[in-house]
């Protein structure tokens, strides 16, 4: 396995080469779209039968169409497989996540008087249904379940279901099921990938059609969401993990290397960079990686080495802070860690990031699992315009307006001017003297 960490010195790279560093696995989804198109169509036509067939083919299970939904007995078995320490951690994380998202929830209604007698505002309502996707192929993710589902429950979504691929034995990750039961979700379905997206976009005999799907997934899943966006709200773009760790000269490069591995170990399709203006920190980080790899499993070493020794990861040396943060903002990372003895000095420089974790005691691990802020974050540069998953992703608002008799004349006069200018006679007439004949 190649363990020569990629080293990128921005001053030596052409603009085109620097631009290449910003690319992600999902930069071109055309091949994935081509692959998932027939899968989507077969699930649309074949329902549960097609869904079970694809689940067995891609996940190595042996499920019948009638076994797609997790039973109460399976929940009971899962409860016996999760130890008390894990259960305590799940409850700790769930409590923090709930607290964070309850603070996001708006009141039922807002109104303000924009002019005397004229009121405008919003009424907030939950969306009707959502499918929360929990990936499985490169690990088990009860934390993702909590991040996806708790804000939906806080928002008041009436139907919240969970989609997650089964293991080869047809079972769902036990901790994920325990987490579901802890927060009150009982509708869990054994399916993943493009076929799962198609199932909730169209509905099958077992799976209800949903208004929205949220959660991170593979490029195949992302491609399916893109194709089915007219059928189901695809939520924020959340693909393979990506991160930037920024470290200044006040920290040990070995610490930066330790944190660089957090997101790099998710899979070979992840992206992870250490950005620094200190050559010493860069060299320390590269030198420390073998020691950190010695404390990881072979699979996680393989994943992270593929990332850090490839074209979408490694160590980036900037000539100064302006160049460093220009690169970070252009990349718009999903996760951004700021390693410094004084991390707050850099916060104002950051314009684009899904999350910013400040200081040497705030590794991404905490954000991913227990801090409470949502770890389902925009990827592939979408952080430039898209926010992390939150309560408002599961709510909508309708504008509400009320004009009193005393407030009407001023509003009508100005509206009639604009309606006349734009040539809308019906608009203008509705606020003209004609209206007075019908008002009581």
Show which residues are catalytic. 334-335
Gap between the Cα atoms of 300 and 305, Å rounded: 8
- Residue 389 CA to residue 238 CA, distance in Å, equals 10
Q: Are 312 and 20 in contact (CB under 8 A)?
A: no
Encoding tokens for residue 290?
């073998």
| Best CA proximity match to 130, nearest among 244, 240, 62, 207 | 207
Residue showing tokens 């631009």: 19
Question: Structure tokens of 235?
Answer: 């939520």
Question: CA-to-CA distance for 285 and 197, rounded, in angstroms?
Answer: 40
List residues bridging with 125 in a β-sheet.
Answer: 396
Q: Note the maximum CA span of the chain.
A: 85
| Burial of residue 416, with CB atoms counted within 10 A of its CB: 0-12 exposed, 13-18 middle, 19 or more buried | middle
Cα dist from 369 to 77, 89, 102, 264, whole Å: 24, 9, 18, 16
* Alpha-carbon dihedral angle through residues 312, 317, 319, 321, given to the nearest 10 degrees: 80
Tokens describing residue 351: 């314009």
The helix (run of H) or strand (run of E) holding residue 16 is helix 15-20
| Structural tokens at position 269 | 């399709």
Distance CA 228, CA 217 (A): 15
What burial class does residue 301 get, using C-beta atoms within 10 Å of its C-beta: 0-12 exposed, 13-18 middle, 19+ buried?
buried
d(CA 65, CA 14): 54
CB-CB contact of 303 with 268 (8 Å): yes
Beta strand 395-403 with 118-126: parallel, antiparallel or unpaired? antiparallel
3-state secondary structure of 129: strand
Handedness of CA 299, 305, 310, 312 (dihedral sign): positive
Length of the chain in residues, anyone? 440
Helical residues (DSSP H) of 355-437, grouped into ranges: 364-369, 408-422, 425-430
């Amino acid at each position: 396995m190649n363990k020569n960490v990629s080293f990128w010195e921005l001053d030596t790279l052409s603009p085109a080469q620097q631009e290449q560093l910003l690319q992600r696995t999902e930069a071109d989804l055309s091949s994935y779209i081509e692959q998932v198109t027939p899968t989507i169509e077969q699930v649309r036509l074949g329902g549960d039968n097609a869904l079970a067939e694809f689940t067995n083919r891609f996940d190595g299970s042996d499920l019948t169409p009638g076994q797609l939904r997790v039973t109460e007995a399976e929940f009971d078995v899962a409860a016996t497989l999760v130890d008390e320490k894990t259960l305590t951690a799940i409850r700790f994380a769930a409590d923090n996540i709930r607290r964070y998202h309850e603070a996001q929830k708006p009141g039922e209604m807002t109104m303000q008087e924009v002019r005397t007698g004229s009121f405008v505002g919003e009424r907030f309502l939950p969306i009707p249904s959502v499918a929360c996707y929990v990936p499985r192929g490169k690990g088990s993710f009860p934390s993702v379940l909590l991040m996806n589902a708790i804000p939906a429950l806080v928002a008041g979504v009436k139907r919240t279901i969970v989609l997650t691929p089964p293991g080869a034995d047809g079972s769902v990750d036990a901790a994920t099921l325990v987490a579901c039961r802890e927060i009150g979700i009982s509708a869990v379905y054994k399916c993943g990938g493009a076929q799962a997206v198609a199932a909730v976009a169209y509905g099958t005999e077992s799976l209800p059609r949903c208004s929205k799907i949220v959660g991170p997934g593979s490029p195949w899943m992302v491609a399916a969401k893109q194709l089915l966006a007219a059928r189901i709200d695809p939520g924020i773009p959340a693909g393979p993990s990506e991160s930037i760790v920024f470290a200044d000269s006040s920290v040990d490069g070995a610490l930066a290397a330790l944190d660089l591995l957090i997101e790099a170990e998710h899979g070979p399709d992840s992206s992870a960079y250490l950005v620094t203006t200190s050559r010493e920190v860069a060299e320390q980080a590269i030198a420390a990686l073998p020691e950190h790899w010695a404390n990881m499993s072979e699979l996680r070493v393989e994943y992270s080495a593929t990332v850090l020794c490839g074209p979408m990861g490694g160590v980036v040396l900037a000539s100064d802070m302006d160049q460093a943060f220009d690169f970070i903002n252009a990349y718009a990372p999903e996760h951004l860690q700021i390693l410094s003895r004084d991390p707050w000095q850099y916060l104002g420089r950051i314009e684009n990031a899904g999350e910013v974790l400040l200081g040497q005691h705030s590794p991404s691990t905490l954000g991913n699992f227990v801090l409470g802020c949502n770890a389902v974050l925009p990827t592939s540069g979408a952080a430039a315009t898209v926010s992390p998953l939150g309560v408002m992703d599961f709510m909508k608002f309708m504008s509400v307006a009320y004009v009193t008799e005393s407030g009407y004349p001023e509003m009508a006069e100005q509206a009639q001017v604009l309606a006349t200018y734009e040539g809308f006679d019906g608009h203008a007439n509705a606020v003209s003297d004609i209206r007075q004949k019908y008002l009581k």
